[in-house]
């Protein structure tokens, strides 16, 4: 990828948008805004585009968002889920398959699309701060060891959960949790189109997963609350399943605790946040690709003056539903998960098969309509959470 370096004082485009961070959500924003006719520059602190490899699972909604670009990053399809807890299990066949994507491939494809749309890139460029000027904003950056200034109407923070842009513009920090994942050989008893999920609340309030990448390899992982404890529990789980890690992957994942306003006015300019910087993550499953792209689309619409209210309002409702589900599940004990699996009868499994995780309100409504006792179980989880906080 060609790099376009900005010289001091040379980027006084009154309408330029500067996006800090070549993340998936940042690059999606860049391509959308550049296609709309505004000049866009992505600044990235790394010397080149080198995203770390990590396997991710997304719903079929990803294809709708990404069109042809999606195919570059898809490495497998999942047609079945198996849920396990305390000797019990439930199997769910999906009407539309989930997609296994490789994060590094996705970012490379998004970068190509952004560049083709007219986006320029500045690598080895570290964001230091932002403030107002007469026409918009000035950014302090460090490029090649030298301090410089950029000028823009708008800045987008797409630099992750520990966003420097968010901190500089006055947003509070986003809470994160550790994700630990190992690439392992796919067990012989696991079909390559089947994801397995284990609920073990003594280890984590979230879950373990096994996601096949191919007929030979799979990603085994867990999300926890404390890094050291999560790693220790994960190593014991690997030993119990008699699986040897071929390589390790890890990250800090933002946790959604309520809607993060994505826009702030600074003087005559405006600062936005997208993706992990705004905690646009489904906290029920801690997945953020599809929701991050929805947030990026809303911000791109705002930058192009096409209205962002409807997209961002819909995203806020979606994230709020996932937050309610997570609050219900977060204090479940083993007996609660056992009851949950027992309640997944044919009708309930049909709802889980028909409606994917990125249409959570429809999924939740249909699930409760077909199996009302799930509502009582969820309410009990919410009450346990309140007692715990009290």
**Structural domain includes residue 223:** yes
φ and ψ at residue 299, rounded to 5 degrees: -65, -40
**Structural domain includes residue 373:** yes
Encoded tokens for 13: 């485009």
Same domain, 238 and 131: no
Position 389 scores a pLDDT of 54
- Closest to 277 measured CA to CA, from 235, 186, 203, 264: 264
In tens digits, what is the pLDDT along the chain, a chain of 390 residues?
656 544 334 444 447 999 999 999 999 999 999 999 999 999 999 999 988 888 899 999 998 888 777 778 999 999 999 999 998 999 999 999 999 999 999 999 999 999 999 999 999 999 999 999 888 999 999 998 899 999 999 999 999 999 999 999 999 999 999 999 999 999 999 999 999 999 999 999 999 999 999 999 999 999 999 888 999 999 999 999 999 999 998 889 999 999 999 999 999 999 999 999 999 999 999 899 999 999 999 999 999 987 768 899 999 999 999 999 999 999 999 999 999 999 999 999 999 999 999 999 899 999 999 999 988 888 887 777 656 655
Task: Measure the CA–CA gap between 20 and 126, rounded to whole angstroms.
Answer: 9
Encoded tokens for 24: 């998936």
CATH number at 144 reads 3.50.50.60
Same domain, 335 and 212: no
Encoded tokens for 218: 């799979």
Q: What is the pTM of this model?
A: 0.91
**Structural domain includes residue 89:** no
**Structural domain includes residue 98:** no
Task: Measure the CA–CA gap between 36 and 33, rounded to whole angstroms.
Answer: 5
Residue 377 domain boundaries: 323-389
Mark which of 254, 280, 302 sits at the end of a domain.
254
Residues 115/119/123/127 CA torsion (nearest 10 deg): -150
Same domain, 126 and 275: yes
Same domain, 213 and 350: no
Same domain, 338 and 205: no
Q: pLDDT digits over 180-215, tens only?
A: 999 999 999 999 999 999 999 999 999 999 999 999
**Structural domain includes residue 85:** no
* Ranges assigned E (strand) in 86-167: 88-102, 120-122, 125-132, 137-143, 146-152, 154-157
Same domain, 166 and 212: no
Q: How many domains does the chain have?
A: 3
Position 8 scores a pLDDT of 38
Position 10 scores a pLDDT of 42
**Structural domain includes residue 125:** yes
Please, is 332 exposed, middle or buried when counting C-beta atoms within 10 Å of its C-beta (0-12, 13-18, 19+)?
A: buried
Encoded tokens for 204: 């984590």
Position 9 scores a pLDDT of 41
Q: What letter does residue 68 receive in the DSSP assignment? A: G
Same domain, 111 and 142: yes
Q: What percent of the chain has pLDDT over 70?
A: 95
**Structural domain includes residue 1:** no
Return all residues near 103 (Cβ < 8 A) that are at least 6 apart. 24, 51, 52, 53, 54, 55, 56, 73
User: 201: how many CB neighbours lie within 10 A of its CB?
Assistant: 19
> If you write DSSP's letter for every residue of 324-359 in order, what string do you get?
HHHHHHTT--HHHHHHHHHH--HHHHHHHHHS-GGG
Mark which of 220, 238, 254 sits at the end of a domain.
254
CATH number at 183 reads 3.30.9.10
65: left (phi over 0), alpha (psi -120 to 50) or beta: alpha
Encoded tokens for 380: 């009990």
Same domain, 338 and 189: no
Encoded tokens for 309: 């209210």
Q: How many residues does the chain have?
A: 390
318: left (phi over 0), alpha (psi -120 to 50) or beta: alpha
Q: Could you give the angle at the alpha carbon of 102 between the alpha carbons of 119 and 78, nearest 5°? A: 130
Mark which of 292, 312, 332 sits at the end of a domain.
312
Same domain, 349 and 280: no
Same domain, 114 and 196: no
Please, is 368 exposed, middle or buried when counting C-beta atoms within 10 Å of its C-beta (0-12, 13-18, 19+)?
A: middle
Same domain, 248 and 180: yes
Same domain, 238 and 339: no
**Structural domain includes residue 64:** no
């Amino acid at each position: 990828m060609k790099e376009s370096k900005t010289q001091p004082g040379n980027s006084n485009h009154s309408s330029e948008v500067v996006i800090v961070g070549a993340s998936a959500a940042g690059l999606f924003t860049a391509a959308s805004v550049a296609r709309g006719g505004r000049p866009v520059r992505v600044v990235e602190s790394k010397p080149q585009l080198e995203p770390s490899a990590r396997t991710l699972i997304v719903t079929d909604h990803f294809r709708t968002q990404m069109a042809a670009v999606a195919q570059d990053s898809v490495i497998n399809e999942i047609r079945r889920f198996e849920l396990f807890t305390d000797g019990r299990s439930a199997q769910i066949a999906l009407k539309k398959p989930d997609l296994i994507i490789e994060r590094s491939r996705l970012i490379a494809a998004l970068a190509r699309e952004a560049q083709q749309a007219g986006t320029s890139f500045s690598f080895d460029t570290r964001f230091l701060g932002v403030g107002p000027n007469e026409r918009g904003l000035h950014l302090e950056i460090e490029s090649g060891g030298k301090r410089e200034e950029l000028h823009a109407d708008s800045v987008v923070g797409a630099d992750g959960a520990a966003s420097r842009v968010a901190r500089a513009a006055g947003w509070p920090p986003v809470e994160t949790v550790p994700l630990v994942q190992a690439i392992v050989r796919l067990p012989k008893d696991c079909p390559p189109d089947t994801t397995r999920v284990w609920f073990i609340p003594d280890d984590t309030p979230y879950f373990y997963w096994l996601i096949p990448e191919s007929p030979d390899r799979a990603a085994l992982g867990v999300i926890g609350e404390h890094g050291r404890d999560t790693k220790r529990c994960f190593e014991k789980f690997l030993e119990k399943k008699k699986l040897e890690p071929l390589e390790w992957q890890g990250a800090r994942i933002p946790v959604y605790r309520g809607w993060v306003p994505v826009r702030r006015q600074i003087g005559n300019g405006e600062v936005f946040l997208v993706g992990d910087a705004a905690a646009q993550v489904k906290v029920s499953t801690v997945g953020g690709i599809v929701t991050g792209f929805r947030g990026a689309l809303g911000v791109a619409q705002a930058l192009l003056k096409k209205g962002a209210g409807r997209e961002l309002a819909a995203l806020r409702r979606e994230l709020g539903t996932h937050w309610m589900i997570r609050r219900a599940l977060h204090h479940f004990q083993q007996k609660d998960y056992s009851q949950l699996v027992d309640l997944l009868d044919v009708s309930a499994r049909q709802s889980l098969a028909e409606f994917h995780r990125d249409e959570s309100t429809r999924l939740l409504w249909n699930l409760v309509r077909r199996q009302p006792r799930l509502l009582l179980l969820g309410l009990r989880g919410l009450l346990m959470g309140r007692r715990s906080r009290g």
